[in-house]
Structure 1
Amino acid sequence: MTSGIHHITAITRKIQANVDFYVGFLGLRLVKRTAGYEDADQLHLFYGDAAASPGSLITFLAWEDGSPGRVGLGQPSEIALAIRPEAIGFWLTRALTHNVAMTGPAQEFGEPVLRFKDPDGIIVKLVGEADVSGPAPHVTRGIAAGDAIQRIRGATILSEKPAETTAFIGGHFGFRKVAEADGVIRLGGEAGDVLDIRNASGFWTSAPGTGTIDHIALRAPDRASVEAMAGRLAAEDAGDTNMHDRSYFYSLYVREPGGSLVEYATDGPGMTVDEPLETLGHTLFIPKHFRADPEDVRARLPQFSLPGDERMSERDLPFIHRMHRPENPDGTAVVLLHGTGGNETSLLPFGARLAPNAVLVSPRGRSVDEGHPRFFRRLSMTTFDQKDIVSEAEAFAAFMEGANAAYGLDPDKTLFVGYSNGANMIGAVMLLHPGIIRNAVLLRGMNVLETVPATDLPGTNVLMASGESDPYGRFAGDLERHLKARGATVEHRLLAAGHEIGGADLELAKAYKERVIG
């Protein structure tokens, strides 16, 4: 093994657009999909060459609807990928035909460079490198082997301490200075890749978020080398370090003097340790330390489709939401409304267990209470903002009209499931906008309307589940009476529970769904 770049990790806001760019446009192979090592509800995708070779890997953490970051000091600013110089013309044409904005070609350190921005705004450079030969270029539809991306060429680091950054990376990771021009010190690794240290003194500081590069990982020969590096860094008082077994490599993290995060990662055991090369990227890996149910994690993670596969894109609707499509949809749907403190992913595992073959739609409440999403504001524990309820119920009714059209939902075969504040929202929508919701399961619900309109609800089916020791349970009867008085068919079950929900709620909801919509 020679010194060089192992992988580069960045952060994306919309995973489908990210896949379309890196797989569909650039022609990289999706070689691994995992749940995050720090957060099981965070999708992590790895792209690379046909063999998932170290030195070809670009990885992305998915922060769905996360706040954009800011590129600045103490952060990488560009990713460079190597192509053959004669392939520049191919990529110029491909960018035009795929409607991808570009600049260039320009000359940098004697090499032709094309610049693109990915859907999150991250700068990706294609660099024509003389005599480049990647270990396993990925040949895909429309991209021949001679035109394909060969491997990572390098990355640019913004530093207000360029001399110190250069000395740190050169002294510890086997890079050496090979050129300098226009405020950039170029360091070269033995594998042929480069790190450009740009003097960014006076520039603003970076801020983490989507559309930024999180870190650059450099190559280590083995675990013993990583542990030895940790010892040297500690002896030099080089700052905090931490080591992790990432299953596919063992690594440590440290910040160089300019502030950028650097990882030192082993080549082995590699991406094929748990998947054969032929099917790389098809299986979701979940780190064992979470001890999580794979089906629960899979339901919470954002879905995406590879280019050419059937897809159901998430539509732009009045509520941020997650849409989960099963492998074998049965024509039914479940709409899930979370409680206070939850979000659009909270009830997805419940929905997937309730109806494994149903399309799941899970919106996030737009009101905020003490920093937590809700579907409407409360003024005290048992009094609620009536204007907010009315306006949010109207917005939710519009959301469902749009979702029905966008996702092909049949209102008669759609079950609405709400917990606590979400259940209360469903109750309010039924009373304020009859016909939008025809089948509902209300878990720990209560009436929140001070004035209930004289609407008609014939053909509306409702299951209410209250907890015997739920302090709010005494308010559930009022909602039951209002629904029945307006013609709804209501079943009200009392469970040996408090305000929390559990297995008894799930089994009750499953049986109810089978009875009312199949």
Structure 2
Amino acid sequence: MIRNGIHHVTAIAGNARRNVEFYTRTLGLRLVKKTVNFDDPGTYHFYYGDEAGSPGTILTFFPWDHVAPGRLGIGETQETAFRVPAASIGYWTQRFVEKGVSHEPIIRRFGESVLAFRDPHGMRLALIGVPGIENEPAWIGTDVSAEHAIRGFHGVNLLLAEAAPTGAILTDVFGFKEVGREGPLVRFKAEGTDIGGVVDIHEAGGFLPARMGGGSVHHIAFRAADDAAEFAMVKKLNENHGIRTTEQKDRNYFRSIYFREPGHVLFEIATDIPGFAADEPLAHLGEALKLPDFLEGSRSQIESVLPEIA
């Protein structure tokens, strides 16, 4: 089985309750894991996705109540895009109007309908209308019907000074190939991958560098089937591109390695294993606060400082 493409996207949010309400109630995603930032355990780490928390569907957030807004600029993710059935774009436009979601007029990009919008904390998102995905599985735990529900990621759009150096990493290490150009955009597609299989690079030399903050994407994670596949990618990064990575870090639901790609975006390699059912049954994902073993002894203290979200 081919396992290329995006594993997850992690971003920075403001108020935790507003974040949960928007992604579960407005967008209809499943909260598949409620845990904490392992490096800042007084802060939640939320994971949203499909019913099983499948790689390629997961958007995660660190919500900080008083975070300053980020500034879009060179060296960051400009847009994170989800897939919806092509015939559902009109439904989503009407839903955004009814719910007061800030959105742009529908445009065409690489032959697809694109509905760009923002979440309550300014994160740039889009829904891409994809033909022929109506019968793909969909999470139906909200008032968004299976007919219109989000089917994982389409991909991400990176705002970079130049595309070629990052493109070399995408193609050599992550199994993508360049499939098209449209104006300043260069599109890369992961071979054999539909969900989370697209990275667009927007070449825009001369812009100010990005400033991380509320609404910013913190990092993009790419899939590795297992540890062996992950370490093979690390070897290629080092030997073919002169890039050094962090050591492997255990994130409970996947094992991670991080590095800065040539355009300065933080990339992660994340294993598909063990997955989000590692510490709670599939039917009850996201219901209880889950902590890694090294923080379990501090559960009472952690719970006392985390904000209410229900």
2:263 match? 258
Give the Å deviation of 1:299: 1.1
Aligned 8 A contact 2:158 2:200 in 1: yes
Aligned counterpart for 1:280 among listed residues 269, 281, 285 = 285
Q: Secondary structure at the match of 1:42?
A: strand
Q: State the Cα distance separating 1:291 from its structure 2 match.
A: 5.7
Aligned residue among 204, 208, 211 for 2:208 = 204
Corresponding residue for residue 108 of structure 1: 109
Output the CA distance in 2 between the equivalents of 1:188 and 1:134.
22
What is the alpha-carbon root mean square deviation over aligned residues?
1.5
Question: Which secondary structure state, in structure 1, belongs to the residue aligned with residue 104 of structure 2?
Answer: strand
Contact residue 253 and residue 262 of structure 1 kept, 8 A:
yes
Paired AA for residue 215 in structure 1: H
Unaligned runs of 5+ in 2: none
Structure of higher RCO (CA pairs closer than 8 Å, 6+ residues apart): 2
Contact 2:31 / 2:49 at 8 angstroms: preserved in 1? yes
The residue type paired with residue 103 of structure 1 is: E
- 1:174 lines up with 2:179 in the alignment: no
Query: Who is 2:229 aligned against?
Result: 225
Native 8 Å contact 1:133 1:150 kept in 2:
no
More strand by proportion, 1 or 2? 2
TM-score, scaled relative to structure 2: 0.94
1:78-89 paired onto structure 2 within 5 Å: 78-89=79-90
Q: Secondary structure at the match of 1:59?
A: strand
Number of residue pairs matched? Answer: 305
- 8 Å contact from structure 2 (residues 223, 270) kept in 1: yes
CA distance in 2, matches of 1:33, 1:219: 21
| Equivalent of residue 274 in structure 2, options 269, 275, 279 | 269
Q: Any idea what SS the aligned residue of 1:187 has? A: strand
Q: Deviations over 1:402-450 (max 9, x none)?
A: xxxxxxxxxxxxxxxxxxxxxxxxxxxxxxxxxxxxxxxxxxxxxxxxx
1:155-194 matches, cutoff 5 A: 155-189=156-190, 190-192=192-194, 193-194=197-198
Alpha-carbon deviations, 1:360-379, whole Å to 9, x = none?
xxxxxxxxxxxxxxxxxxxx
Shift of 1:178: 1.0
Offset at residue 133 of structure 1 (A): 5.8
1:99-498 correspondence to structure 2 within 5 Å: 99-132=100-133, 136-189=137-190, 190-192=192-194, 193-235=197-239, 236-290=241-295, 292-305=297-310
Is the contact between residue 234 and residue 245 of structure 2 (CA under 8 Å) also seen in structure 1?
Answer: no
Structure 1, residues 294-347: CA drift from partner, whole Å, max 9, x if none?
111111112212xxxxxxxxxxxxxxxxxxxxxxxxxxxxxxxxxxxxxxxxxx
CA contact (8 A) 2:138 2:146 kept: yes
Q: Determine the structure 1 residue equivalent to 2:40.
A: 39
Using a 3 Å threshold, how does the CA distance of structure 1 residues 133 and 245 change in structure 2: closer, same or farther?
Answer: farther
User: Contact 1:53/1:135 (CA < 8 Å) preserved in 2?
Assistant: no
Inter-partner Cα distance in structure 2 for 1:303 and 1:136: 32
Is the Cα contact below 8 Å between 1:53 and 1:136 reproduced in 2?
A: no
Give, as a single letter, the amino acid of the residue that structure 2 aligns with 1:165: T
Determine the C-alpha separation between the residues in 2 that align with 1:132 and 1:11.
Answer: 30
Q: Tell me the distance in 2 between the aligned counterparts of 1:274 and 1:195.
A: 31
Taking every aligned residue pair, what percent have the same amino acid on both sides? 37
